[in-house]
Structure formats: structure tokens, C-alpha cells
Amino acid sequence: MRQLILDTETTGLNARSGDRVIEIGIVELVNRRLTGNNLHFYINPERDSEPGALAVHGLTTEFLRDKPKFAEIANELRDFVGGGDLIIHNAPFDLGFLDAEFSLLGLPTFVSHCGEVIDTLVQAKSMYPGKRNSLDALCDRLGVSNAHRTLHGALLDAELLAEVYLAMTRGQESLVIDMLGEAGTTGDNGELVVKTGFDQLVLAVVLASPEEETAHGTVLNELDKAVKGTCVWRAEEKVIEAQ
């Protein structure tokens, strides 16, 4: 499974009014592991950045003047993302700009070259409703260090987002794979094949203390009173005991 964490920096907020892409950073994950095969471009937008945008990314017109224009990097970008799934924070923003750049060159849309698009902002809003879900907020919440980040940069933000995405989606399956360590290989289709059996895992069994069992019984008694009978958990216990 090849996933590409992508971020851009732009001259402003609106591609329709002529704002352009000035930086692209892409970090590659294969089977949820960073490969180090990343892609990064600074791009000459042939215009100045808006003051608000410049304050965010710090990429001046002078710095970008000798960088390649988008037309010069479009083919390499298209080839790199070909068929991969994209992971982007607030995907409509970045994809809107990239589609606009491809349109200016008379090329098919950027997204037409990619697979699934995963928007981590949408995921975060579902997981943490009512909370701030910016990249910085997610780094703080999930324990991802961004202390070295003073200005926004596409590659740095993509690297941070990769760590955030892995932390957000770390479920039981990935936990077991981590416990098995490196005892696995890559199959013909690129999937991870684990050689070590589950019988080799040593899992801790934590039993309830007498105090916890008493507290549990008290809660069940209150539930029995509330339903004026036997609550579903006690009914399940009777079924188990009868087996």
C-alpha cells in the first residue's frame, strides 16, 4: 500500500483569482512505514505572495526567482504520485491549487493521476468534534513534536502530517504488527506478510481486584433497579455460566 502525504505553500488563498503554488512537499509511506523516498520542489510563481501568506511561509519573491516554473516540474510530479493514495490536511485547498496549475498547462487534473484521497482534517473533526484540529493542534494532542517549526514549509508539514496520520490511525492491527517487530516480508502485491504466529505473542492478563468486582456489582444492582428486572450484562453472565 503506497500512500503519499502531500502539502503545498501558495502565494495566497484563492487559485481562481490567480494565486499560485510556490512549494510542494510529498512524503512516501509504504505499508505504513516511511521510506525516505520524498519529493520536494520550490517553484517560481511569477508573481508576489500576498502579505498574509508571506508571513506564514516566508518564501520571498527574491528567493523563488531562480526556481523552476510549475511547467518544468509537472511531469516529475505527475510520475511520482501516479497511482498512489493521497493524504492531505484540508485536501480541497491543496488539490484545488494543483488542479488549477495542471489546467493552466492544458493537462488533465492532478487528482486524475492519483488513487484515493484521505483528508485528515475530515478525519480529525470526526474523531475530535468541537476541538481545534489544525496540524499544530493535532501535533500537541497526539504527542508529535513540532518544536522545530517556526514557519510553515511544505516538506516539513508533510513530515509532521505523516506522523499525525500514523498516530490517528494506529489501531489494533498496527499494534500487533509493531509487537511482532520486523518478522515480516513484502508480498508480490506489496502487502505486508507477517511470518511470526500470534501464539508467539505474550499478552498480559490483568484481573479485576476484589474492590473493582464489588464496585462492578454495585453498578449492576443499580441497573437491575432501573430496568425493574435483570440487566443485559447479568443475563449474559448467566448464559456464560450455563455453557
135 in Cβ contact with 161 (< 8 Å): yes
Give the chain's radius of gyration (CA, Å).
25
- What's the grid cell of residue 30? 509504504
135 in Cβ contact with 9 (< 8 Å): no
121 vs 101: CA distance, rounded Å: 23
73 vs 81: CA distance, rounded Å: 12
Could you list the beta-strand ranges (E) of 51-162: 85-88, 117-119
Please say if 89 is a catalytic residue: no
Q: Which of 13, 40, 11, 10 is nearest to 24 (CA)?
A: 40
Q: Of 57, 89, 113, 152, which one is the catalytic site residue? A: 152
34 vs 165: CA distance, rounded Å: 12
- What's the grid cell of residue 26? 510529498
83 in Cβ contact with 2 (< 8 Å): yes
Q: Which of 82, 108, 71 is nearest to 26 (CA)?
A: 82
98 vs 85: CA distance, rounded Å: 15
Residues taking part in catalysis: 152
